[in-house]
Structure 1
Amino acid sequence: MTISLKRLLLSTSLLVAATIMPVHAEDASSMAGPSPISKGLVGIGRIPANQRDSFGETFGSGSGMAIDPQSWTRTADGYKGSLWLLPDRGYNVAGTTDYRPRINTIDIQLTPTAPGAAPVAGKEQSGVDAKLTKTMLLHDDKGADMTGLDPSSGVRAASGTLPMLPQASNGKISLDNEAIARLADGSMLISDEYGPNIYHFAADGRLVSATQPPAALVPMRNGKPNFASNNPGPGDSAPDPKDPQTGRQNNQGLEGMALTPDGKTLIAVLQSATRQDGGDSSSTRQNTRALVYDASDVDHLKLIHEYVVQLPVFTDAKGKTAVAAQSEIVALSPTSFLMLARDSNNGYGQKGDTSLHRGIDLVDLSKATDIAGSAFDADKPVAPKGVLDPSVTPATRTPFIDLNDAAALARFGLHNGAPNDRNNLSEKWEAMSLASVLDQKLPDDYFLFVANDNDFLTQDGFQVGAAYKGDGGADVDTMFQVFQVTIPGLSRK
Structure 2
Amino acid sequence: MPSICRTCLSTLALAALLASAQAAPTLIARGSLPGDAADLSGLSGTLENGAPANLLGGLGSALAWAGGTTFIALPDRGPNASAWNAAVDNTTSWIPRFHTLSIALSPNPAGPLPFTLTPTLTGTTLLWSRDALHYGPAVPAINTARRHYFSGRSDNFGPGDSLDPLHARLDPEGLRVSRNGKTVYISDEYGAYVYAFDRASGKRQRAFSLPSATFAAHTLAATGAAEISGNTTGRVANKGMEGLAITPDGRFLIGFMQSPLLQDGGDGGRANRIVRIEIATGTVEQFAYDNFIPAMNKAYNSSEILAINSHEFLVLERDGKGLGDGTLAVVKQLWKVDLSGATDVSGLSGAAALLAVAPTKTLFLDLRAALNAAGIADADIPAKLEGAAFGEDVVIDGVTKHTLYLANDNDFLASVGGKDNPNQFFVFAFDDADLGGSVYEPQRFKQP
Q: Normalization by structure 1: what TM-score?
A: 0.70
Aligned match of 2:40 = 54
Q: Which has the higher helix share?
A: 2
The alpha-carbon deviation at position 335 of structure 1 amounts to 2.0
Residues 209-255 of structure 1 show CA distances to partners (whole Å, capped at 9, x for unaligned) of 112322344333xxxx2354725xxxxxx736645321111111111
SS in 2 for 1:105: strand
Aligned counterparts of 2:390 and 2:295: Cα–Cα separation in 1:
31
SS in 1 for 2:129: coil
The alpha-carbon deviation at position 475 of structure 1 amounts to 4.9
Aligned length: 380
Does residue 435 of structure 2 align to residue 490 of structure 1? no
Counterparts in 2 of 1:227 and 1:402: CA distance versus 1, 3 Å: farther
Aligned match of 1:140 = 129
Q: After superposition, where does 1:59-458 map in structure 2 within 5 Å?
A: 59-69=57-67, 72=68, 81-93=69-81, 94=83, 95-111=90-106, 120-121=111-112, 127-142=116-131, 143-151=147-155, 154-155=158-159, 164-165=164-165, 167=167, 173-183=168-178, 184-203=180-199, 204-220=201-217, 225-228=218-221, 230-231=223-224, 239=226, 242=229, 244-279=231-266, 281-282=267-268, 285-295=269-279, 297=280, 300-303=281-284, 305-313=285-293, 322-344=298-320, 346-351=321-326, 353-372=327-346, 374=347, 376=348, 381-383=349-351, 387-388=352-353, 392-405=356-369, 408-411=371-374, 413-417=375-379, 424-437=380-393, 445-458=401-414
Counterparts in 2 of 1:141 and 1:125: CA distance versus 1, 3 Å: farther
Aligned counterparts of 1:395 and 1:306: Cα–Cα separation in 2:
12
Counterparts in 2 of 1:155 and 1:336: CA distance versus 1, 3 Å: farther
Aligned counterparts of 1:472 and 1:191: Cα–Cα separation in 2:
24
SS in 1 for 2:357: coil
The alpha-carbon deviation at position 88 of structure 1 amounts to 0.5
Residues 300-342 of structure 1 show CA distances to partners (whole Å, capped at 9, x for unaligned) of 4211x321000133688xxxx6421110111123321011110
Aligned match of 1:32 = none
In the alignment, which of 25, 38, 60 is matched to residue 39 of structure 1?
A: 25
Residues 424-445 of structure 1 show CA distances to partners (whole Å, capped at 9, x for unaligned) of 01210111111231669866x3
The alpha-carbon deviation at position 275 of structure 1 amounts to 0.6
Counterparts in 2 of 1:129 and 1:268: CA distance versus 1, 3 Å: same
The alpha-carbon deviation at position 198 of structure 1 amounts to 0.4
Q: In the alignment, is the contact (CA less than 8 A) between 1:314 and 1:324 conserved in 2?
A: no
Aligned counterparts of 1:350 and 1:271: Cα–Cα separation in 2:
19
Q: In the alignment, is the contact (CA less than 8 A) between 2:191 and 2:240 conserved in 1?
A: yes
Residue type of the alignment partner of 2:383: E
Q: Structure 1 vs Structure 2: percent identity of aligned residues?
A: 29
Unmatched 5+ residue regions in structure 2?
A: 1-21, 42-53, 84-89, 132-146, 433-437, 444-448
SS in 2 for 1:111: strand
Aligned counterparts of 1:106 and 1:228: Cα–Cα separation in 2:
35
Aligned counterparts of 2:152 and 2:424: Cα–Cα separation in 1:
23
Aligned counterparts of 1:240 and 1:254: Cα–Cα separation in 2:
16
Residue type of the alignment partner of 2:384: K
Unmatched 5+ residue regions in structure 1?
A: 1-35, 73-80, 168-172, 232-237, 418-423, 459-469
Aligned counterparts of 1:389 and 1:202: Cα–Cα separation in 2:
36
Aligned counterparts of 1:481 and 1:492: Cα–Cα separation in 2:
19
SS in 1 for 2:130: coil
SS in 2 for 1:404: helix
Residues 388-435 of structure 1 show CA distances to partners (whole Å, capped at 9, x for unaligned) of 457x411221111111116x4353x42113xxxxxx012101111112
Q: In the alignment, is the contact (CA less than 8 A) between 1:194 and 1:227 conserved in 2?
A: no
Counterparts in 2 of 1:157 and 1:327: CA distance versus 1, 3 Å: closer
Aligned match of 1:462 = none
The alpha-carbon deviation at position 66 of structure 1 amounts to 1.2
SS in 2 for 1:90: coil
SS in 1 for 2:241: coil
Q: Normalization by structure 2: what TM-score?
A: 0.77
Residues 13-32 of structure 1 show CA distances to partners (whole Å, capped at 9, x for unaligned) of xxxxxxxxxxxxxxxxxxxx
Residue type of the alignment partner of 2:378: N
The alpha-carbon deviation at position 349 of structure 1 amounts to 1.5
